[in-house]
C-alpha cells in the first residue's frame, strides 16, 4: 500500500505539491471516484488510478539507458557542472541516480535507476559484470599488452586489476593522421581505470566511450538521449550480476 500522492509522484505525474493540486482539482480518480485525498492509501496491484482520464501504472523501480555525452559529470547534483541527471525530468532527479560513473570527458552507456540493490550488483567487482570500452590512443598499443591485461595490470593500487580482455585494432587514417584504436572489456570500475591501464603500457587515452554493459548496448541511441530498459534487458542484467565470483 502507498499514499496516493506518492503513487503519482513515483509515476512521474509531478512533484508532491503539484499532484496535490491535481487531486484538489478533481483531475485524479481512484476506482472511478474523484473524491480522494493525497494521503489515501492505494493498493498498487488492485486499485485503478487515473489522471486526466488516463490510467496510471505504478512501478516501484525503473531502469533507464542513457547515452552520456562528454562535458557533463556523473553525479546527481553539482554546484558548478552540468550533471547526467540534468537530462532527466526534475521529479526524477531526487530518487534516481547513475549506476557507477564515467569521467567528464568520457562518453557512452550509463544506466540510471532507483533500485539500490540492482545498482550495487552492477558496480561491485564481486559480480564481475563486463563493461566494454572503445578507446583512441596517442600511439599504437604494444602487442604484449593483450597478455599483460589478461594477467592483470599494476596501476598503482594495492592489487593488480582483474583480468581484462584487450583487442587492438589496425590504425586508421583520420584527417591525415594515424588514429590508434582499441577495445577493452573490464569487470570492475576503479578510479580512471581504463586510462590508467593504458598508461601502464605507455599509451594516453585521447577519447573514451563505454559501448556496453553485459549484453546491453547503446545501439542507435543519440547522445544526450535516454530510454527505458525493456523487461528482458533488466532480466539479462540481473542474470549476469546474480552470482558472486572469487576475486
The set of catalytic residues is 103
Helix (H, G, I), strand (E, B) or coil at 185: strand
Please tell me the distance from the alpha carbon of residue 194 to that of residue 185, in angstroms, as a whole number: 9
Angle between helix 116-123 and 231-240 (nearest 10): 50
Please tell me the distance from the alpha carbon of residue 218 to that of residue 227, in angstroms, as a whole number: 10
Please tell me the distance from the alpha carbon of residue 127 to that of residue 93, in angstroms, as a whole number: 27
Determine contact, residues 111/98, Cβ cutoff 8 Å. yes
Please tell me the distance from the alpha carbon of residue 190 to that of residue 207, in angstroms, as a whole number: 18
Cell of 55: 490510467
Please tell me the distance from the alpha carbon of residue 31 to that of residue 20, in angstroms, as a whole number: 18
Helix (H, G, I), strand (E, B) or coil at 246: coil
Strand segments, DSSP code E, in the chain are 2-3, 28-30, 41-42, 49-51, 54-55, 63-68, 97-98, 107-113, 131-137, 165-168, 172-174, 177-186, 205-213, 216-217, 226-228
Please tell me the distance from the alpha carbon of residue 196 to that of residue 16, in angstroms, as a whole number: 44
Amino acid at each position: 500500500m502507498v499514499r496516493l500522492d506518492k503513487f503519482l509522484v513515483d509515476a512521474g505525474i509531478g512533484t508532491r505539491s503539484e499532484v496535490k493540486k491535481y487531486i484538489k482539482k478533481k483531475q485524479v480518480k481512484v476506482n472511478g471516484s474523484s473524491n480522494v485525498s493525497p494521503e489515501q492509501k492505494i493498493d498498487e496491484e488492485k486499485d485503478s488510478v487515473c489522471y486526466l482520464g488516463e490510467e496510471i501504472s505504478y512501478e516501484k523501480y525503473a531502469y533507464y539507458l542513457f547515452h552520456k555525452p562528454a562535458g557533463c559529470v556523473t553525479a546527481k547534483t553539482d554546484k558548478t557542472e552540468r550533471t547526467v541527471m540534468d537530462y532527466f525530468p526534475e521529479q526524477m532527479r531526487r530518487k534516481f541516480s547513475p549506476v557507477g560513473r564515467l569521467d567528464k570527458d568520457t562518453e557512452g552507456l550509463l544506466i540510471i535507476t532507483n533500485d539500490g540493490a540492482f545498482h550495487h550488483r552492477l558496480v561491485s567487482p564481486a559480480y564481475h559484470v563486463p563493461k566494454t570500452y572503445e578507446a583512441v590512443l596517442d600511439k599504437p598499443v604494444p602487442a604484449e599488452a593483450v597478455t599483460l591485461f589478461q594477467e592483470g595490470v599494476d596501476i598503482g593500487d594495492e592489487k593488480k586489476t582483474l583480468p581484462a580482455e584487450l583487442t587492438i585494432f589496425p590504425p586508421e587514417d583520420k584527417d591525415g593522421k594515424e588514429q590508434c584504436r582499441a577495445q577493452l572489456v573490464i569487470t570492475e570500475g576503479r578510479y580512471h581505470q581504463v586510462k590508467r591501464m593504458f598508461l601502464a603500457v605507455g599509451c594516453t587515452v585521447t577519447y573514451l566511450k563505454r559501448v556496453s554493459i553485459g549484453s546491453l548496448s547503446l545501439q542507435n541511441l543519440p547522445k544526450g538521449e535516454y530510454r527505458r530498459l525493456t523487461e528482458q534487458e533488466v532480466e539479462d542484467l540481473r542474470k549476469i550480476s546474480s552470482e558472486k565470483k572469487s576475486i
